[in-house]
Structure 1
Amino acid sequence: MKIEQGSAPDHGSRTSSDREWADAAIRKIAAENNRSADTHLYSVPLPEHWGIGLYLKDESTHRSGSLKHRLARSLFLFGLVNGWIRSDTTIVEASSGSTAVSEAYFAQLLELPFIAVMARSTSAEKIALIEQFGGSCLLVDHAAEVYATAEEVAATCNGHYMDQFTYAERATDWRGNNNIAESIFGQLRLEEHPVPDWIVVGAGTGGTSATIGRYLRYNNHSTQLLVVDPENSAFLPGWRGAADPAGLPSRIEGIGRARMEPSFVPSVIDAMIQVPDAASVAAMRHLRTLTGFAAGPSTGTNLWGVWQTVAGMLAAGRTGSVVTLMCDGGERYAGNYYNPAWLAAQGLDPAPHEATLAEFFETGAWPV
């Protein structure tokens, strides 16, 4: 069968103008990335006699302010190359905040309307950022409602539901192409321990852990991947093999889920631990004292896992390096996690966990 140019079979009535617009949109995203520098990998000072290097990759310096900037870029490119996003498409996402902020940024870049479906408990600072980038917010009472509501909104407004929880693990090229794992190893190249013993991350969609875990295996690195999980999240039971794990909505914004998300890939994870929510807050606050960086609570969750990992290395007499992520900045949480009254109302008391950290830094041993 001969197909004339411009008369290809109808697969959703694509036109040459659709293709031209998509090509221009991809160029805009590529140009934005080309103008952007990589994020910093900071060396965090630890006692010299420990012989362990700790590195904190500061993802808060992205233009949209968080680790989710990388995911949002990948999801937009994935939608464009698949033909799901057109010049008249409304972008819709179910999000606890940071992904929505980053997607609002890229939607504004492409002059597309954006709607974020979020739990009503999302911080006011994140809602303000979404609106600052031209997006709008639809708040639901319960976190479990965001999926169906986002699908319904997309179906009724000529929209595309980005569905980060399904597509995060496949939208990013885990082999490289400037993903976060490739960036980390490039920045460690001249360090004393350029191949870290551990990389420690949390899981929200599971996309970051899937990308890093696959990259480690693809490049035959000996680095192990530790994923930290908040209280009541379904990810840890799922990693342990539970057939249909169910949890509760996470109190740590951005990580932990009430269900196993499709983008979570347990088989690439070497170890997981559960972190008490109050411990996440304690470690977040401790980072500010230790380094001057104000970070969000998911960074605190990462660090609680980091300090236990470092303690384990010290107990085994091992030297080496550990890498973790500063997922976003503390300014997004001034009204909640940095607010003593809010913490008290949530029943979160970081003081005992701050005492644990003080003892660890004094002795180098993790308190039982």
Structure 2
Amino acid sequence: MSAWVHEAVRKIEADFQRSADTHLFKLELPALRDVDIYLKDESTHPTGSLKHRLARSLFLYALCNGKLAPERPVIEASSGSTAVSEAYFAKMLGLPFVAVMPRKTAPSKIAEIARYGGQCHFVESAPEMHDAATTLAAESGGYFMDQFLYAERATDWRGNNNIAESIFRQMARERFPVPSVLVMSAGTGGTSATLGRYIRYCGHATRLVVVDPENSVFFDSYTQRDATLTRACSSRIEGIGRPKVEKSFQPDVIDAMRQVPDAASVATTLWLSEQIGRKVGGSTGTNLWGALEIAGEMQAAGKRGSIVTVMCDGGERYLNTYHNPDWVAAEFGDLSGPLGELDRWS
């Protein structure tokens, strides 16, 4: 191992040692008596999202596979949060970083990438990102990190304080310590792969349910068992949903999938933000809507247990979008329907 790689790995591991684990908090809902819902709050990472875990793993994977070198640019295709986290690690190692992203990405994410010294290369829609990143890497002599390919293999799914191990450890003293269900959305598919593999590795009786927004191909691919399906449009819920089935998406470790209407995702984003007094992102709304649906079904069937889902990031990045009433009205219309359904829980 070269001295530069050795020092780069040391820096990343030192940063990890300085970082505390993220909180798991219980969502208190009076209407749920025998089903407990918890959210794993990934917004407290140094770069503010679940993607901090992924970016750290991707950099270590690339370093240990001999893909990174001094001054070699790092290229990533990302709608925002992964790019923010990768820009953080690239700055730590003194590497140039370029994010290829849709032009409509939240301005606050673009600003955060720039704050870490990264640059943004814009395309019109998500289906264009991969080819543009591949071309840019070839032209610059850079390395395409390719989260959508490597996410499921870069993380040690058997443990090492990954998100799955952390959830089960933090649940140990709750009244239903082994969750009945884990609910997770898919962007790369890497986190759902880690959760599903860990459940099987440990022999837990937990089911993994993956929720998917509109304009994403994952749900249709899963139900039809066809990995060749594609869509020509972008997901309106930033960070999750994809126009093609990414290599990191592992359907065989998933027990069920549900499609969540975009209006329901945004309504739940706003509703949860009011419940906890903190703004959350759109993918958290997708996750929680799915968790609440399952909780209602469990309670109606007389079942008891716990459900854990993920707060993927905070809402400060979405002040101009999901937390802007005018923008929401123009993009999603009237949310009174799903908001009315949510009221029954509070």
Shorter-chain TM-score above 0.5: yes
* Equivalent residue number for residue 282 of structure 1: 267
TM-score of the pair, normalised by structure 1:
0.91
The alpha carbon displacement at 1:166 in A equals 0.3
**CA offset digits 1:49-95 (Å, max 9, x no partner):** 61222111110000001000000000000000000011121110000
The alpha carbon displacement at 1:243 in A equals 4.9
Distance 2:345 2:17 in 1: 41
8 A contact 2:227–2:245 mirrored in 1? no
What is the total number of aligned residue pairs between the two structures? Answer: 344
After superposition, the Cα gap between the structure-2 partners of 1:54 and 1:261, relative to the gap in structure 1 and judged at 3 Å, is same
Distance 1:107 1:97 in 2: 15
Q: Which amino acid aligns with 1:29?
A: I
Query: Secondary structure at 2:8's aligned position in 1?
Result: helix
Q: Which amino acid aligns with 1:161?
A: F
* Equivalent residue number for residue 122 of structure 2: 139
8 A contact 2:31–2:345 mirrored in 1? no
After TM superposition, the runs of 4+ consecutive aligned structure 1 residues lying more than 6 A away are: none
1:85 matched to 2:68: yes
**Aligned ranges 1:314-333 → 2 under 5 Å:** 314-333=299-318
The equivalent position to 2:251 in structure 1, one of 266, 275, 287, is 266
8 A contact 1:46–1:52 mirrored in 2? no
1:156 matched to 2:162: no
1:105 matched to 2:88: yes
Unaligned runs of 5+ in 2: none
Distance 1:272 1:299 in 2: 16
8 A contact 1:229–1:272 mirrored in 2? yes
1:302 matched to 2:287: yes
The equivalent position to 1:349 in structure 2, one of 334, 338, 346, is 334
**Aligned ranges 1:151-300 → 2 under 5 Å:** 151-240=134-223, 241-247=225-231, 248-300=233-285
8 A contact 1:296–1:333 mirrored in 2? yes
Query: Secondary structure at 1:361's aligned position in 2?
Result: coil
The alpha carbon displacement at 1:169 in A equals 0.4
Distance 1:281 1:104 in 2: 27
* Equivalent residue number for residue 31 of structure 1: 14
After superposition, the Cα gap between the structure-2 partners of 1:243 and 1:288, relative to the gap in structure 1 and judged at 3 Å, is closer
Query: Secondary structure at 1:199's aligned position in 2?
Result: strand
**CA offset digits 1:202-229 (Å, max 9, x no partner):** 0000000000000000100000001110
The alpha carbon displacement at 1:31 in A equals 0.3
Distance 1:99 1:352 in 2: 32
8 A contact 2:74–2:97 mirrored in 1? yes
* Equivalent residue number for residue 345 of structure 2: 361
1:117 matched to 2:61: no
**CA offset digits 1:311-336 (Å, max 9, x no partner):** 01101111111101100000000001
8 A contact 1:52–1:320 mirrored in 2? yes
Query: Secondary structure at 2:182's aligned position in 1?
Result: strand
The alpha carbon displacement at 1:294 in A equals 1.1
Report 1 or 2 for greater relative contact order, CA contacts < 8 Å, sequence distance ≥ 6: 2
After superposition, the Cα gap between the structure-2 partners of 1:299 and 1:27, relative to the gap in structure 1 and judged at 3 Å, is same
8 A contact 1:57–1:325 mirrored in 2? yes
Distance 1:161 1:237 in 2: 28
Distance 2:256 2:32 in 1: 27
TM-score of the pair, normalised by structure 2:
0.97
RMSD: 1.2
Q: Which amino acid aligns with 1:245?
A: L
Unaligned runs of 5+ in 1: 1-15, 363-368
Q: Which has the larger radius of gyration?
A: 1
Distance 1:324 1:243 in 2: 26
Query: Secondary structure at 1:195's aligned position in 2?
Result: coil
